[in-house]
Chains A and B, each alone.
Chain A
Amino acid sequence: MSECLLKAERLKKNYGGFTLDCSLEVPKGRITGIVGRNGAGKTTLFKAALGLIKPDGGSVRILGKNPLELTAEDKTKTGVALSDSGFNGFLKVRDVKRILKSFYVSFDEAYFDEQVEKMQLPVNKNIKDFSTGMKAKLKVLVAVTHGAELLIMDEPTAGLDVVARDELLEMLNEYMEKDENRAVVISSHISGDLEGLCDDIYMIDEGRIVLHEDTDVLMDSYAVLKVDEEQFKGLDKSHILRVRREPFGYSCLTGEKNFYTENCPGIVVEKGGIDSVMTLMIKGEEI
Chain B
Amino acid sequence: MSTITSRGAPPRVPSVTEPAPPAAPAGRLRRRLTDNLTAYGFLCAALVCFALFSWYPIVRGVLLSFQQVNFVSDPVWVGWENFETLFADPLFLTAWRNTLLFTGLALVVGFAIPFAVAVVLNELRHAKAFFRMVVYLPVMLPPVVVAILWKWFYDPGPGLFNSLLRSVGLPPLAWLNSTDTSMLSLVLVATWASMGSATLIYLAALATIPGELYEAAELDGATVWQRLRHVTVPQTRFVLLVMMLMQIIATMQVFTEPYVMTGGGPEDSTVTVLLLLYRYAFTYNDFGTASAMSLLLFVFLGGFSALYLRLTRTRS
Q: Do A and B bind each other?
A: no
Using a CB–CB cutoff of 8 Å, the interface residues on chain A facing chain B are none
